[in-house]
Amino acid sequence: MRCLIVSDIHGNLEAFEAVLNHAGPVDSIWCLGDLVGYGPDPNACVELLRSRPHLCIAGNHDWSALGRLDLAEFNPDAREASLWTRKQLTPDNLAFLEALPKELPEPAQEHFWLAHGSPCHPIWEYILDDRTATDAFGCFQATFCFHGHTHVPILIRLANQQGSERLAWSQPPEEPHTLGPGRMLINPGSVGQPRDGNRQASYMLLDPEALTVEHRRVDYEYWLTQDKMLEHKLPPRLAMRLAYGL
Ligand code: ZN
């Protein structure tokens, strides 16, 4: 089985299509939330995901597009983009987003858990430091948890070293490699708005039976996305950042 792991597509159709083409045939897409928000094609991205076999969970931008979150928690650009997104979404696509669960424990195989932010607080929490990561390992029962939200690809491993558990943070290597040893938090990075200084769309391929994962990057026509954002009068700063991956 071959699974495509994507997160934070953010209504960026050019990036999502580039990832699907680059990944080749897959059996299922596992989407870790923030399908919409920021980008100019929320409906097309929802519909493209819905047209393929998939699992999907909700992110904070999906919830804000549904009016489920207080927009005061967003910065002004994100708030403006969220209000715009809410107006664009068709009733059918809104209903799809409404039905997304907050997390999917052990969705297809016994080893995996999915959450947008963190397994402790799936919608909002960012895993950015040792303390949050340590707590996160206490909040899911599976061996591996895929998550997104930070828009930065990272592997965090909890390994037993000399009788005590230690965290190890690393960049995911680009060649296929076996998961473990030890439990892991795995962030595939963002498809539609990378923030690790690399503007290429970021994703992973997973073989859930062999427990191998591969991190990949792909160029896309980001200037087309930018043009559409400016045309729709979305905040220019959100369009500009796509060129820098920041
Ligand atoms: Zn996001």
* Cα 8-120-70 angle, rounded to 5 deg: 60
Q: Which of 68-82, 121-135, 137-151 has the lowest mean pLDDT?
A: 68-82
Amino acid type, 65: A
- pTM equals 0.95
Average pLDDT of the residues in 2-13: 97
Concatenated DSSP letters for 193-238? S--SS--SEEEEEEETTTTEEEEEEE---HHHHHHHHHHTT--HHH
Q: Does the pLDDT value for residue 106 go beyond 60?
A: no
Residue 130 has pLDDT above 60, yes or no: yes
Q: What's the gap in Å between 7 CA and the centre of ligand 1?
A: 8
pLDDT at 193 over 70: yes
Q: How confident is the model at residue 108 (pLDDT cuts 50, 70, 90)?
A: low
- Residue pointed to by tokens 């997304």: 100
Predicted local confidence at residue 48, as pLDDT: 98
Q: Ligand 1 centre from 208 Cα, in Å? A: 25
Ligand 1 centroid–CA 164 distance in Å is 34
**pLDDT higher at 202 or 167:** 202
- Check if the beta carbon of residue 149 is closer than 8 Å to that of residue 60: yes
Ligand 1 midpoint to CA 33 (Å): 7
Amino acid identity for residue 221 in this structure: E
Q: Does 167 score more than 90 pLDDT?
A: no
pLDDT-derived band at 198 (thresholds 50, 70, 90) equals: very high
Q: 69: pLDDT confidence band, cut at 50, 70 and 90?
A: confident
Distance 111 CA to ligand 1 centre (A): 24
Of the CATH numbers 3.60.21.10, 1.10.3720.10, 3.40.50.620, 3.40.50.10190, which one belongs to the domain with range 3-243?
Answer: 3.60.21.10
Question: Ligand 1 centroid vs 203 CA: distance in angstroms?
Answer: 14
In this prediction, residue 14 carries a pLDDT of 98
CA 182 / ligand 1 centre spacing (Å) = 27
CA 119 to centroid of ligand 1, rounded, Å: 16
CA 197/CA 245 separation, integer angstroms: 5
3-state helix, strand, coil in the chain (%, to 5): 30, 25, 45
- More reliable by pLDDT, 107 or 5: 5
Tell whether the model's pLDDT for residue 121 goes beyond 80. Answer: yes
Distance 73 CA to ligand 1 centre (A): 14
Contact 202, 194 (CB under 8 A): yes
Average pLDDT, the chain: 93
Find tokens 């690399």 and name the residue: 198
Tell me the CA–centroid distance for residue 190 and ligand 1, in Å: 7
| Residue spans per domain, the chain | 3-243
